[in-house]
Each structure stands twice: as structure tokens, then as C-alpha cells.
Structure 1
């Protein structure tokens, strides 16, 4: 029984005690009510927010900013069929990442933007690591790199495809490239070649397409006049070029020269174009008058002029 209940019982018993006792009991009851519930309870106050040491009370924690992926242009080599068989063609691609050499290898495996180029590397292949030092590189690929349906010519060119891609991205044509698969020496590959140590570039005149466009990139949107540049190894440094419209009809033609003949050397020319979609074709010509056999080696880029 609580305190209030006991007082109520006593009061009931003392009613016969008269007015004085009833007044005393009334005063006691008032005091009891005042002590037990006469005030309004205050609301609990929230704990002040905690801050890190040294921070201002009105500062709120913020997430660390995420660094954007670095965007760069990397070179990758692909295969193209020519009058001299399979050859390597270079394509520059926009890639992201902090390691341009690894990004170039990933681009080579993923495939080209230019529909005229191809690759025999399995697209499921992952680049596990690329380690470069002065004059050498070691590329470690996943097990899928062993899968390729090529003959001996294609297998030998796949070796050079990787070597040219890595050394171009290193900006060191004289560097060597070794290949690991899942951390172990590559050894026999594709039933046709053995990668048994560091490999170097072979003579570009024997493995590269003799006419190469570097700029503009395939599918680029450009302004006029259009600048076309690249390198080529052609007779007496002479190159011919054509511009085709969307139907394939020739609308312009001309010629230009490389800096040096019979070896890979740079060239550049400009052409005025109206807004629209155009294909620029550069070729080595045919100084033999058809006696050399096969179609002249060419390269092309399809672009849009604003």
C-alpha cells in the first residue's frame, strides 16, 4: 500500500475526531499532492553531437573526394589482311587508368574500334599485371590467353602484336617483352609457337601494314579543314589519298609525301570537307603498274565533320 492509501484509511477512521482533525488531514493531503505530482516533468535534452578532435562544433563530417580516373590515349596493335598476308595495324584508343601500358594491353585484347582490324586474343583474357623497367616489360595474363584459333602465321603475329603494343605504350621500341600466364612462363601457345623468354620487335617492314593513319581516330567528330597524319613506308615517299562519301563514291583525291622513302616515316596533309560523314583512304599506290600483285596496302578512317 502506498503513502497516499494509508493516509486515506487514517482519514476515514478519524472522521469522528471532529473538524480540527479533518482540517489537519486536508492540509496533509494538499502537501502530499504537491510533493508527488504537482510539477510538470521537463523533457529530456538530446546529447550534443560529437565532433572529431580539433573540429569546430558546427562542422559536419564529409566523405573523402574520389579521384577521377585518368583519361589517356593509348596505342594498340591489331591484325589486318593485306596483299602480303596478315599484318599489324596501329589504332589509338581513349582509355582510363593510371598505367598506360596495362591500358594498352587491355585495349588490344578487347578489340579495335575500326571494323577493318581484328584480333585473335580471347576477349575473356584478364590483364593480371604489367611490370616495366628500363628496356623490358613482363606481362601476366589469365589462363584465357591460351585460347586462340589461329595457324602458325597468326600465332607468330600474335606474339608481335603484344610486343608492339607494349613497347609502343612504353615509348621504347627497343624494349623486350616477356609473357607469364597466371604467374608462370607462357611456354607453348596456341599449338604453334613457344614463348620462351623476352621477345623483341621484328622488322616492321615484315609485320606492319605499310600505310598507317593515326589521326583522326575512327568515328571521331572533327572540324574542317581535316588534318590527316600517320606514318608509312612507301616507294619514293609517295602516298595517294581519297575521300569517299557515305555511298562510297569518291569526292576528292590527291597525294602527299612521307619524310623519307622505303622506311616508316611520318606524313601529314589537310583536306577541306563539308559537314557530313566521310571516309578518308590513304594507300601506298602501285608504282609497279600491277606487277607487284595484289591490292596496294591502305588504311582508312570514317569521321563526321561538323
Structure 2
């Protein structure tokens, strides 16, 4: 990928990132995050940088800078060329799901009207990922990527979520195999109608976050985090999702602190090819607003690490920093550290190539 610092597409992405960051800040989650930080233990995931008692060194200032994305005609971070198969270890073995259909079609009022069409518009698409350092053996969280779409934005976002592989191999979707029909809305709810739905029965906690994957993706594409999302199949009500989630009523949006990853990288994207000056941007809900980072050259083992402050602590807030890296393959990690024992509690990584 060429350096796109002068590409007008960057300005579109930057505005979308800031708009989305402003929208997702929940109520102050200080108590919850402190509790999690003290309760969590070191994880065996991503062992290349998880060391007990890690100390954040140096200082860095948030830098307003460009964002680099790979994109095709229809996606910004998803498409035919993305690498890696989705991880499915969180799902239980597939088993027959209970009947999900009733005989009666929905009342006409719930069908709503189609979305307005857009052209080359960025929409968020959410994926599942495993939280590092969680108390549970498997703890699933939502991670966000961006895609550029034309047509009906929420419908296209759901189509990506259900048919594409995320570029980042740490992310996955349990909605693979689903086929979306339409997304319509009225004053009371948004209805996502599927031709078919996944039949896999999941662990209850994974199923809960997977249902929110749909809600966050649809609401994010519509820029509306208030209107609940109803799921139907061929115009008929659905009883359950993933054998666990009651879908007879519309699904409300869960609190971000309950389902979102506490730190993620928005840019650069996985496998980006960049010039030596690399700007890293993302979102974190960090204890005392402190986000740690480490960049490792996978060939020479050169390491650069420090920390940065988010705009606000204990709530989802933006961060940014810049690195000057030597040519070669690099892995960038952004992570949170427990104040009690120095262990890594949450992380997101991206592999890039510096030219």
C-alpha cells in the first residue's frame, strides 16, 4: 500500500472516527474498570509481549494525524483480498437449534421502510475477539473496523459481518452462514430480516455479545444508538438466536463497558504497507487514562515502547501517537496494564509492513 497521507479519503475516515468516538462514550465506568483491573490475571495469549510487571516508560503526546486504510470499491477494511480465517474456538460444537419460526407473519407496521441509499460512505462493522487477561477462560468482546459501502448502509454492513473474513486474524464472526434480506425501520424499531440464520448453539456469554455484534453494527451504520433491533427470518418472528438469546422482542443496545473491548486500534489496519512515519489511532477505556504501546520488528526484534494518555480516563476515549519505524515487518500492540500487579489486561495488535 502506498502512503495515503494526502488522499482525501483520509479526511472522510478521520471524521468518521471522531464522530463514532463521540457517540460511544458511556456513563463513567470507573468502579467497573477498577474492579476488572484488580480482578484480572495474566493471560497466555499473545506471549510475545505479555510479561508480568510490565512498566510503561517514556512519554508521548496525542497527535492529530492522518489515518491510513486499505479499501476496495465497497470496503475499507474488508473484502475479497482479506487474509485469515475467523477464529471459532469460542463456539460450542454445532448442534440442531430449536425451532425459530412461528406461523404468523409480523404485523405490517413492524416492517417499516427501507434505508436511504448512500455512496462511498464509511460504516462501522463489529467483530468478536477474545479479551486478554480476563478471569474467564473465554471472554468475548466487540472490536470495530470500518468499511466503505454504497447502497443501503446497514444492510451492507450486516452483509460484510455475515459473509466476509475480518482482515485481523484475532477477530471473527459467529454470524457466518447467515444471509441478510433487508433492513427496514420505523419510529419504534429497526428490523433486520434474514433469508437464513446461524444454527449454531453458543455459550451464553458468547451468544450475548454475538447478538450485540448485530445491534452495534446496524445502529452504527444508521448512526442511531437508541432504536432497538428486531430480527426476523423471511418476514416471520424469530424465537431465539444461537440457541440462547430471546429474540421475540427487539434487541436493545448493551452498555459499551459490558461488551466492547476496552482498547482497540482503528488505524493502521492489519497488513498495511506504510512509510516509516506511522500514526496509530484508536479507542480505549483506560485506568487513569493511560494506554501502553509496543512496536516490535518481527525480523530484527527491535522494540519501541512507551505510553500515551487518552483524552479522558475511565471512559471510552480516543488516543493517538506516532512512531518512526525502520523498514521491515512490525507488530504494533496497544494494551492496558493492571495497576495492582502490572499484568496486561486488554490488548489489540496489528501487523504492518514498513517500506
Q: Same fold (TM over 0.5)?
A: yes
Provide the residue aligned with 2:353 in structure 1: 304
Q: TM-score, normalised by structure 1?
A: 0.70
Provide the residue aligned with 2:262 in structure 1: 210
Residues 240 and 283 in structure 1, CA contact (< 8 A), matched pair in contact too: yes
How far residue 281 of structure 1 moved from its aligned partner, in angstroms, is: 0.4
Q: TM-score, normalised by structure 2?
A: 0.61
How far residue 255 of structure 1 moved from its aligned partner, in angstroms, is: 0.7
Residue 108 (structure 1) aligned to one of 146, 151, 161: 161
Aligned counterparts, 1:1-306, within 5 A: 70-82=119-131, 83-84=133-134, 85-94=139-148, 96-110=149-163, 111-121=165-175, 123-133=176-186, 136-143=189-196, 145-247=197-299, 249=301, 251-290=303-342, 295-306=344-355
How far residue 101 of structure 1 moved from its aligned partner, in angstroms, is: 1.4
> What's the Cα RMSD here?
2.1
Task: Tell me the distance in 2 between the aligned counterparts of 1:297 and 1:184.
Answer: 40
Provide the residue aligned with 2:12 in structure 1: none
Flag the structure with higher helix content: 1
How far residue 283 of structure 1 moved from its aligned partner, in angstroms, is: 0.3
How far residue 175 of structure 1 moved from its aligned partner, in angstroms, is: 2.9
Residues 201 and 244 in structure 2, CA contact (< 8 A), matched pair in contact too: no
Task: Tell me the distance in 2 between the aligned counterparts of 1:231 and 1:150.
Answer: 28
Higher relative contact order (CA 8 A, sep 6+): 2
Residues 227 and 271 in structure 1, CA contact (< 8 A), matched pair in contact too: yes
Residues 223 and 305 in structure 1, CA contact (< 8 A), matched pair in contact too: yes
Task: Tell me the distance in 1 between the aligned counterparts of 2:247 and 2:190.
Answer: 14
Task: Tell me the distance in 1 between the aligned counterparts of 2:326 and 2:302.
Answer: 14
Q: Choose 1 or 2 for highest CA Rg.
A: 1
Residues 229 and 220 from structure 1, CA distance in 2 versus in 1: closer, same or farther, beyond 3 angstroms?
same
Q: C-alpha offsets along residues 124-169 of structure 1, whole Å, 9 cap, x if unaligned?
A: 32111112456742111122x1412411111111111100111111
